[in-house]
Chain A
Amino acid sequence: MITTPSIGIGLRGAHYREMLRERPSVDWLEVHTENYFAAGGWDLHVLETLRGDYPISLHGVGLGIASVHGFSMQHLESVVGLAARIEPVFVSEHLCWGATSEAVFNGLLPLPLNEASLALVSERVDLVQNMLRRPMLVENISTYLRFPGDTLTETAFLAQLARRTGCGVLLDLNNLYVNECNHGENARAALESLSPEDVRELHLAGHGWDGDLAVDHHGAAVAEPVWNLYGDTLRRFGPLPTLIEWDTNLPPLATLLEEADHARAACMEAGQ
């Protein structure tokens, strides 16, 4: 029997004042970690105020846990410092790399999915968790490219990572669907690689199209195939904290709340 999961929304600057004024009924908030690295100011003030009323999740986009070179201890220390200050329910990052010794690319770059990458990422996750003194979550990404020499699927990689490090998996269902469109990977088969104890959080977001390529732009409502995948995911894993992610072409806050209601309704439907 599926019960209603905890549904959160991404907190973005354009919605700060309305959030502070209205305190809408939503179960939790997720923020991009790097947006709160400053020493002080409005962003941090809002986050520290809202954390009194909402559980907060810190979702990083800049650590690059799989960068062989260019991995920044200073960046990690900033994450740890913010986590100590905000006391989030989750701290998450992406399964990707983002830097070399020459530059930081500020993107979620695709990783060859093989044993060498798994060993490196396991080492990094251990490091992050030791510094955080808590488990972290690692999210699957959408990518335009896969490496022909891959020996693991992404979810099989994440499952092994979870076994080795004790981390959790943040499963982004829009990313699974976008990768199904762009690489022919079966999203439902991907779910089979993960066990219920691996997955701690779900992401739902919108995508667009550039010709025949699906683009994970987080700038639209969740698409119907992703809602369907959400239903199948809930039936397999049970209720999981679920986030409505919307980062570009930001709509009114009410639209995000409607998407959150949609997620609740989808959960009820999955339980029938």
Chain B
Amino acid sequence: MTLDELARLQAAFGSQLSARQPSLAPLSPWLDADPDTTRRFLCCAETVRHHHERSLALIFPVLKALVGDVFFRELAQEYGAANPSRAGDLARFGVHLPEFIATLPVADAYPYFSDTARLEWMLHLAHGAHDGNSLSVRDVRAVDPSELESWPLCLHPSVGLYVSRWSTVSIWFAHTQPLTHALPASIHQPTRAIVYRSGWSPTVREISETEWTALAALAEITTLGHALLVAGERHERLGAKAQAFDPGALLSRWLTDRLLVRA
């Protein structure tokens, strides 16, 4: 056997591993196609499919609960066929699953499945994000308030801004913390939220449009003063004067949640 032949063997083996109905005919120079060998090859293919499905199930548990085990298994197989893994690290395999679901017929009846998957992917990214040095209440108390306002800040690497037309965050909480959260009465509730790490655990918190405006500004790196200014302006435009704009409360929450780092 030459290296080229070994490459041809691996290419043929790989294409049949991925095939819906594997055949050993392309492998005839190297493997018999008898029933026992065929059965053993199918065991190899099943093991690969199982690894892919399991890796997706670990990252998308709520999606799996929504669609059910049988549909999820088929989804994993269809997804793998359309989006073959490109890395030896399975943690990256599911990156295209949210957009893939949006292309399926099931998306017509369940349009929030894709956004639920997108939320779970963001939580997965938050789980492994760089630790960063987030600002604490103690850091802030140590500086003059006027100096603090001029600090260039950005969001901690684990923080992501999430928006959906559906009440997907409520759905996520209802599945992950069912004792304290019920399923929403309606899915037709637009959601704005941040995904971040609380301690070491990724979580999500729904936020107002005012807070979203400030955090979106900080995501682009800006000063604390500017972020709070644009948030205040947004608050006024929204006419939300019944609930007063409270920049101090926002800052306190961000520090508690460790959302900010110095840019």
A108-152: CB near B (< 8 Å → 1, else 0) gives: 011010111101100000000000000000000000110111000
Residues of B within 8 A of A182 (CB): 40
Given contacts A145-B37, A213-B40, 16 further A-B contacts (CB under 8 A): A37-B128, A39-B130, A40-B130, A41-B197, A41-B200, A68-B6, A72-B87, A75-B88, A97-B10, A100-B14, A104-B85, A104-B86, A105-B14, A117-B1, A120-B3, A213-B43
Closest 10 CB pairs between A and B? A62-B88, A38-B128, A103-B84, A40-B131, A42-B200, A68-B7, A144-B40, A39-B130, A100-B14, A40-B130
Given contacts A145-B37, A145-B44, are A34 and B10 in contact (CB under 8 A)? Answer: no
Minimum CB–CB distance for A12 against chain B, Å: 13
Stretch touching chain A among B45-53, B170-178, B186-194, B206-214: B45-53
Question: Known interface pairs A100-B14, A104-B85, A106-B52. Does A145 touch B90 (Cβ–Cβ under 8 Å)?
Answer: no
Q: Is the CB of A116 within 8 A of B84?
A: no
Bound state CA distance, A231 and B40, in angstroms?
30
A100, B10: Cβ atoms closer than 8 Å? yes
A69 contacts B by Cβ under 8 Å = yes
Chain B residues bordering chain A, tally (CB within 8 A): 48
Enumerate 27 A-B pairs (CB-CB under 8 Å) in ascending A order. A34-B89, A37-B91, A37-B128, A38-B128, A39-B129, A40-B130, A40-B132, A41-B197, A43-B128, A62-B90, A68-B3, A68-B7, A75-B87, A100-B10, A100-B11, A102-B14, A102-B84, A104-B87, A106-B85, A107-B44, A109-B13, A109-B44, A115-B1, A116-B3, A145-B37, A213-B39, A213-B40
Determine the distance from Cα of A144 to Cα of B48 in the docked complex, in whole angstroms. Answer: 13
Which residues of chain B have C-beta atoms less than 8 A from A103's C-beta? 14, 18, 84-86
CB pair A106 B6 closer than 8 Å: no
Q: Does A98 contact B (CB under 8 A)?
A: yes
- For B5, the closest partner residue in chain A by CB is A116
Residue in chain B with minimal CB distance to A64? B88
Q: Shortest CB–CB separation between residue B54 and chain A, in angstroms?
A: 9
Which B residues have a C-beta under 8 Å from some C-beta of A?
A: 1-3, 5-7, 9-11, 13-15, 17-18, 30-32, 37, 39-41, 43-44, 47-48, 51-52, 55, 84-91, 93, 127-132, 157-158, 197, 200-201
Contact with B along A35-53 (1 / 0, CB 8 A): 1011111111100000000
Per the bound structure, the CA–CA distance linking A52 and B158 in Å amounts to 26
With CB as the reference atom, state the residue of chain B lying closest to A75: B88
| A72–B86 alpha-carbon span in the complex (Å) | 9
- Hey, which chain B residues are within 8 Å of A169, CB to CB? none
Q: Mark A88-106, 1 if CB is under 8 A from B, else 0.
A: 0000000001111111111
Instruction: Please name the residue on chain A nearest to B37 by beta carbon.
Output: A145
Give the distance in Å from the alpha carbon of A41 to the alpha carbon of B130 in the complex: 7
Given contacts A42-B200, A117-B6, A147-B31, contact A63 B44 (CB under 8 A): no
A210 close to chain B: CB less than 8 A: yes
Interface residues of A in 70-90 (CB under 8 A from B): 72, 74-75, 78
CB < 8 Å neighbour of A144 from B10, B13, B44: B44
Cβ–Cβ < 8 Å partners of A213 in chain B: 39-40, 43
A69 to B86, CA, bound (A): 12
A67, CB-defined interface residue at 8 Å: yes
Give chain A nearest CB distance to B60 CB in angstroms.
17
Q: A104-B85, A112-B30, A117-B6 are contacts. A39–B128 as well, Cβ < 8 Å? A: yes
Quote the shortest CB–CB distance from A108 to chain B (angstroms): 9
Do B10 and A38 touch across chains, with their CB atoms under 8 A apart? no
Nearest Cβ on chain B to A61's Cβ, whole angstroms = 8
Instruction: Determine if A34 and B88 form an interchain contact, defined as CB atoms under 8 angstroms apart.
Output: yes
Residues on A with C-beta less than 8 A from B52 are 106
Report the bound CA distance from A162 to B17 in whole Å.
31
